[in-house]
Structure 1
């Protein structure tokens, strides 16, 4: 069979990326109470289970209370000690983790389908009977404290730790600065108190993979034990106190590099302009072909890497730019960054530059919706930020698809005012 000769001098044909909408999931009410969202894939035996509870560091009374509680929930219960928990999970070939963010605590399990249901007694014990043993807590806190001390010797870790306070204020849950002494004051009683406030009866369930009726039925038995959880605590907004100090320097006398973290408050996912802001940020510093990379890395040679990104959260969002440079060019690098920010607000981008950034985002969107586990992540994020995933992703895609250079210019003028930036430098200037 003769194959046609391929001319390697001619680029292959391309086609526009298409978006068919956020894939639908099967929804159920387990025990007529617990909402369950299921993305099925019967071609794999692996199943993912996420149990989400609306409580996190936003509600904690002491630093580290929420994250330490989540970390210690697998260190011992009334029925299992830490060794038995680890042995059960390892022997099953499963993965189990408990994490706590600002607004949610999530228990996640990955396992082969027929193994998952055998882990439900352990999961029940972890979520209802954790005891937070003192000796294990001392070891965990000592290790975490040592990691904190080591991290504080790195200029970027130091800058990232202190920067949010400039945007939100030190008393805001997003802006509190963690101290070394915080690791010494956390006690088992603090974790038990926070654990007792988990609203078990308000659990949201997410399933991905090869799900059948046996899994759902067994899950119903597990959730029966969640009837006596605490009442959901309202997560009310906190006062944001933007620092009047536009630039702060944490002087490190022997530093050879300076870490620059700078940014300003911006809109979140719920705002209709968010897709355009994401596109504008991508052009500025959101991928390896961005303006900041070309200017600060390639043309000036001030840094190996620089990026900008948006941190969208339920109670406040911000854009930040981060890089590390030699201490001798800290001021020059900062000037060039501001120059690129100002240029976005003064000149329209080319259509080629816009299309490259747009296609990069389109690719990330489609990749983020590929498979039941990725879809579960996207759905949990949407629900956590009180968004309807179908309308959000449709609007997101359509807004990007019709964006023009003038839209980018107006978005930059509206949201990236150079005077609104706060700058934190750890090192020297």
Structure 2
């Protein structure tokens, strides 16, 4: 029996005449014209409804601004998010689960310092039931003592685990480095604070904060947009208040500065996080910066990945991207590295920041990231789930379907010169601050040699 000869990817990609030519990219198709409605209900809730009838399903995303400054707000908000779907005046947990199962549906909730989000999906034929359950949760959630106690205990266990995770530690350190004591930094409540939360406080928070005004609801699926808006208005008619949902205070302008070394004794890996001020999606230069970021570290073939992952092997993954919070946009660079190459990884990361401005992306690089940006956007909104998620994120910035449909054209119009200008303006190393979390005894001297690093506790 003849042994099978396996060829490497490099061997497959070459012939005797040289590298195999890569087939040209196909032309970009225009975004599909989907019927949609973007309106505000009498109770102040903004509704974006889009017909996408690829499958007989619907996706719903409700986003409620949920900022607070109280000492126990973050903990109370987490308990609320865990218990809002456990019962109402008309339905207990079993009844809610049963009704959702009968329409092929699911409900989930998540909360952060900026907003409470409720996500749901169901068969399109079950939409009236979904709306009835959602209205019940918004107006009649009961937060019975036993459910609050049960979910609080589970939450305390999860928090105990989360707070030992390197990425959680790095995230908290970065947030404090960027924003000090701003409420946005309270992403993960303390377990002892959760233990102090009582059912009366959760019910009070719901009454005072789960409000329609300033909130947005996105629905995507096999629906008639006009009809579904009218149905929503009827279903949510009792969800009303003269008050508005609590919007997170504006974040301070992010300025560059030293990177803070946060000691984590005995760590075998280090977490590197750098951040700088960026542009909002509404800025005319946002598309320019988006392509510059992709060239730097926004996808697998970026310069940062090629350098510290493919060439030097300092990290398994490195990435740069945008964070959008309220009216603020920031750039975030992250990489987890082996302890012994932490300083070298920081040096190379800064080197690539500077090089992006001084040796800007070539025309070929720009075209590659352009095709990636347009193609990945098309893929992300090809499903009902992806489109609902994109629209929900845009709605939080006051944008809608028109911005999404027009973004491929904006990306297509960006020139290499405009990407070069964005790279020079926004990726200069001095604009970035951040943290390195790791074993200070092992990595401290190397980071001091690199420079621009302060040693302390975040």
Report the TM-score when normalising by structure 2: 0.81
Alpha-carbon distance between aligned partners in 2 of 1:32 and 1:125, rounded to the nearest angstrom: 16
Tell whether the 8 Å contact from 1:266 to 1:318 is kept in structure 2 after alignment: yes
TM-aligned CA distance change 1:350 to 1:170, over 3 Å: same
Q: Equivalent residue for 1:146?
A: 157
Q: What runs of 5+ residues in structure 2 fail to find an aligned partner?
A: 1-14, 444-458
Alpha-carbon distance between aligned partners in 2 of 1:343 and 1:126, rounded to the nearest angstrom: 52
State which of 339, 342, 345 in structure 1 corresponds to 2:351: 339
State which of 405, 416, 420 in structure 2 corresponds to 1:409: 420
TM-aligned CA distance change 1:311 to 1:204, over 3 Å: closer
Alpha-carbon distance between aligned partners in 2 of 1:224 and 1:406, rounded to the nearest angstrom: 52
TM-aligned CA distance change 1:270 to 1:67, over 3 Å: farther
Alpha-carbon distance between aligned partners in 2 of 1:236 and 1:109, rounded to the nearest angstrom: 24
**Which runs of structure 2 are paired with 1:22-37 in the superposition (5 Å)?**
23-26=34-37, 36-37=47-48
Q: CA RMSD in A?
A: 3.1
Alpha-carbon distance between aligned partners in 1 of 2:347 and 2:273, rounded to the nearest angstrom: 13
Q: Are 1:424 and 2:435 an aligned pair? A: yes
Q: CA deviation at 1:47?
A: 2.3
TM-aligned CA distance change 1:343 to 1:393, over 3 Å: farther
Q: CA deviation at 1:29?
A: 6.9
Q: Helix, strand or coil: the match of 1:376?
A: helix
Q: CA deviation at 1:411?
A: 1.0
Q: CA deviation at 1:74?
A: 0.5
Tell whether the 8 Å contact from 1:247 to 1:424 is kept in structure 2 after alignment: yes
Q: Are 1:57 and 2:67 an aligned pair? A: yes
Question: C-alpha offsets along residues 325-382 of structure 1, whole Å, 9 cap, x if unaligned?
Answer: 1111111111011011111111122222221111110111212332444333333322
**Which runs of structure 2 are paired with 1:158-307 in the superposition (5 Å)?**
158-174=169-185, 178-197=189-208, 198-200=210-212, 204-211=216-223, 218-226=231-239, 228-233=240-245, 235=247, 237-238=249-250, 240=252, 242=254, 246-307=258-319
Tell whether the 8 Å contact from 1:286 to 1:309 is kept in structure 2 after alignment: yes
Tell whether the 8 Å contact from 1:262 to 1:422 is kept in structure 2 after alignment: yes
Tell whether the 8 Å contact from 1:276 to 1:411 is kept in structure 2 after alignment: yes
Question: C-alpha offsets along residues 90-141 of structure 1, whole Å, 9 cap, x if unaligned?
Answer: 3443112233455443433211233232344432321111121233223322
TM-aligned CA distance change 1:246 to 1:43, over 3 Å: closer
Question: Quick check: 294-303 or 310-319, which moved more?
Answer: 310-319
TM-aligned CA distance change 1:98 to 1:250, over 3 Å: same
Q: CA deviation at 1:283?
A: 0.7
State which of 343, 349, 358 in structure 1 corresponds to 2:370: 358
Q: Helix, strand or coil: the match of 1:63?
A: helix
Tell whether the 8 Å contact from 2:82 to 2:109 is kept in structure 1 after alignment: yes
Q: Equivalent residue for 1:131?
A: 142
- Paired residues in the alignment total 419
Alpha-carbon distance between aligned partners in 1 of 2:230 and 2:401, rounded to the nearest angstrom: 27
Q: Helix, strand or coil: the match of 1:74?
A: coil
Tell whether the 8 Å contact from 1:161 to 1:178 is kept in structure 2 after alignment: no
Tell whether the 8 Å contact from 2:46 to 2:217 is kept in structure 1 after alignment: yes
Tell whether the 8 Å contact from 2:61 to 2:392 is kept in structure 1 after alignment: no
Tell whether the 8 Å contact from 1:252 to 1:427 is kept in structure 2 after alignment: yes
Alpha-carbon distance between aligned partners in 1 of 2:263 and 2:45, rounded to the nearest angstrom: 52
Question: C-alpha offsets along residues 235-283 of structure 1, whole Å, 9 cap, x if unaligned?
Answer: 3644527588622222122111111111122222122211111111111
TM-aligned CA distance change 1:149 to 1:121, over 3 Å: same
State which of 58, 70, 83 in structure 2 corresponds to 1:47: 58
Report the TM-score when normalising by structure 1: 0.86
Q: Equivalent residue for 1:112?
A: 123
Alpha-carbon distance between aligned partners in 1 of 2:186 and 2:280, rounded to the nearest angstrom: 17
Tell whether the 8 Å contact from 1:200 to 1:230 is kept in structure 2 after alignment: no
Tell whether the 8 Å contact from 1:50 to 1:107 is kept in structure 2 after alignment: yes
Q: What runs of 5+ residues in structure 1 fail to find an aligned partner?
A: 1-7
Q: Helix, strand or coil: the match of 1:122?
A: helix
Alpha-carbon distance between aligned partners in 2 of 1:270 and 1:418, rounded to the nearest angstrom: 25
Tell whether the 8 Å contact from 1:137 to 1:188 is kept in structure 2 after alignment: yes
Q: Equivalent residue for 1:5?
A: none
Question: Quick check: 412-421 or 37-46, which moved more?
Answer: 37-46
